[in-house]
Amino acid sequence: MKTKFLRAAAGLLSTLALTYLGLLAVTFFIGRVVPVDPALAIAGDRASEEQLQRVRVELGLDRPLLEQFGLYLKKVAQGDLGQSILSNNPVAEDIARVFPATLELATVGITIGVLFGVPLGVWAAVKRGRMADQLLRLIGLFGYSMPIFWLGLMGLLLFYAKLGWVSGPGRIDIAFEYNVPVVTGLILVDAAMAGEWEAFRSALSHLALPGALLGYYSLAYISRMTRSFMLKELGQEYVVAARAKGLSEMRIIWRHALRNAAVPLLTVIALSFAGLLEGSVLTETVFAWPGLGQYITNSLQNADMNAVLGGTLVVGTIFIALNLVSDLLYRLLDPRTR
């Protein structure tokens, strides 16, 4: 038993190591094939050829490609993602500063998606082929297929400009921007911890629209996948047997069918959360949300490749970590996969 466990752990660790090595290789070679000269970006357009060459030597760009990759691996292992040209700060510090804003936005989005998407998906499966099912599928299709930046612009026009129900772009009103001491980087949490309730309400008003937008986007996907998993489970023999035993329909649906459907659904939710963490670039741009997506976008527009590749590496790490967590939960909940 112990040997089997050690083999499984070794296999998992080797898979993770190879996956992460592949991610590092992809980010490194992307940085080398893009038509941007890092030395020119650092030294400036007016730098002489001698100055450019000196910068290339300092960056190690004069060395063989494999040697450069080895140096890149060594720096990443030490937590060094390079220095940002725009902010003149270490990229790791910049990402640590902007990531909590994205985490807060994505957490609100996935919470809305799970709380509403799972029950709606179950209901659609139970009402298969009826009007309720068709309506929910239409709502899901609309949310999943419409461009998210268009929904964001329409939401700002309606709920902010016309109705005034929510605050506009940004993370908090400028009057409260420096009133909240940064502890966790999650502005709602920090404002509540500091007792700054006016700032809390301002931040919540700014978060409501982009959070609801991402929530609707994740809801559309989660509800569709929940419906699919539930239809499969409701057609199984154990459901027929449970009905023959006289169990109530609610118990069959929520305690038996949904419990079995929850196993693959965990993977869907984990990947949806990872997608919100990296795919909220357009949302952050539309709402001027100072998160990781906007940071990568601004860096890309200004040829700050260290920042772009550092952000890409963080996003890839998030996907790998959430895949690992979902796989472990999958094995924990379903003994057949162990």
pLDDT of residue 238: 83
pTM score, whole prediction: 0.83
Query: Could you tell me which residues come within 8 angstroms of residue 327 by beta carbon, excluding any fewer than 6 positions away?
Result: 267
Residue with more model confidence, 45 or 89: 89
From first CA to last CA, the distance across the chain in angstroms is 12
Hey, is 90 helix, strand or coil? strand
Per-residue CA distances from 222 to 134, 179, 184, 257, 319 (Å): 16, 37, 29, 16, 17
Give the pLDDT score at 37.
66
Indicate left, alpha or beta for 196 from its phi (over 0: left) and psi (-120 to 50: alpha). Answer: beta
Residue appearing with tokens 């898979």: 15
pLDDT of residue 119: 92
Q: Where are the alpha helices (DSSP H) in the chain?
A: 2-33, 38-43, 49-59, 65-77, 91-126, 131-145, 148-155, 187-194, 197-234, 237-244, 249-251, 258-279, 281-286, 292-301, 305-333
Reported confidence tier of residue 43, pLDDT bands at 50, 70, 90: low
Q: Report the pLDDT value the prediction gives residue 110, as an integer from 0 to 100.
A: 93
**pLDDT band (50, 70, 90) for residue 107:** very high
Does 220 have pLDDT greater than 80?
yes
Is the predicted pLDDT of residue 257 greater than 70, yes or no? yes
CB 122 within 8 A of CB 258: yes
Tell me which of 1-10, 82-91, 174-183, 255-264 is least confident: 1-10
The predicted structure's pLDDT at residue 40:
67
* Confidence grade of residue 253 (pLDDT, cut at 50, 70, 90): confident
Average pLDDT, the chain: 82
Q: How sure is the predictor about 116, in pLDDT bands with cuts at 50, 70 and 90?
A: very high
Q: Residue 210 has what pLDDT?
A: 92
Copy the structure tokens of residue 338.
């162990």
| 290 phi, psi to nearest 5 deg | -80, 65
Residue-range domain boundaries for the chain: 38-78, 101-301
Contact 91, 258 (CB under 8 A): no
Q: What is the pLDDT of residue 263?
A: 81
% pLDDT > 90, the chain: 10
Return the amino acid letter for 166.
Answer: V
Share of the chain above pLDDT 70, in %: 89
Q: pLDDT tens, 70-106? A: 888 888 888 888 888 778 888 889 998 989 999 999 9
- For 117-143, b/e burial (b = at least 16 CB within 10 A) is bbebbbbbbbeeeeeebeebeebbeeb
Tell me the three-class secondary structure of 164-224, residue by residue. Answer: CCCCCCCCCCHHHCCCCCCCCCCHHHHHHHHCCHHHHHHHHHHHHHHHHHHHHHHHHHHHH
**CATH class for the region spanning 101-301:** mainly alpha
What's the rounded mean pLDDT across residues 50-77? 77
1 pLDDT above the threshold of 60: no
For 156, half-sphere exposure in the C-beta direction (CA atoms, 13 angstrom radius) is 17
The Cα–Cα gap between 259 and 265 comes to: 10
- Residue 114 has, within 13 A of its CA and on its CB side, a CA count of 17
Q: What is the mean pLDDT of residues 41-69?
A: 73
Structure tokens at 79: 């937590």
